[in-house]
Amino acid sequence: MTRPHLQIIVGSTRPGRRGAAVGRWLHGLAVRHDRFDIELVDLLDVGLPLLDEPQPAGRGPYVREHTQRWSQIVSAGQAYVFVMPEYNHGYNAATKNALDFLSEEWRHKPIAFVSYGGATGGARAVQALTPVVVSLGMKPLAKAVHIPGINRAVTADDTLRTDERLDTGALTLLDELFQHTSVEPAAAV
């Protein structure tokens, strides 16, 4: 049976970020969940500059090599979880930039969010980014996982300290994402 390809996309690229720890934790849970083929994609490694394509994503061919590479990465996904911080009551620039580079690659695919931050755990970032992904034709889940107090939750060795509530919430999110993911049947040989 073909399993859907899930991309967990770490959206923060700044020095001292907490997103890599959150992404590794979610990746480990997704492996344990065992219903997806999983790819951890880190925007820091992708290395996108500030949007520099001469044409809007939906209007013309991509001319930049980094955009073509990003398109290939995203096209392989059938579902996405964006791991993202909340900055100044909103989403971070690297996440928005990564979304804006592409168009059709995102369309009709489900997306979920794991956010982190201070007291609200990034809830305002998810709320602000939801209309953006809807305008790209994505299907956001109503449920998200929010991690408050992120600076206390990440240890000195860059590991996320979790509890049963957080792990259960993330596994429930993966269940829901799986239900919203369609997999093309394998071609008959």
Domain ranges of the chain: 5-179
Residue with tokens 């344990």: 32
More confidently predicted of 2 and 29: 29
Residue 60 has φ and ψ, to the nearest 5°, of: -155, 170
Confidence of residue 187 (pLDDT cuts 50, 70, 90): very low
What is residue 2's predicted lDDT score, i.e. its pLDDT? Answer: 86
Stated pTM of the model: 0.94
Predicted confidence (pLDDT) at residue 189 exceeds the cutoff of 50: no
Check residue 185 and give its pLDDT.
Answer: 47
**pLDDT confidence of residue 132:** 98
Mean pLDDT for all residues in the chain? 94
Domain 5-179 is found in CATH 3.40.50.360: yes
The per-residue pLDDT for 60 is 75
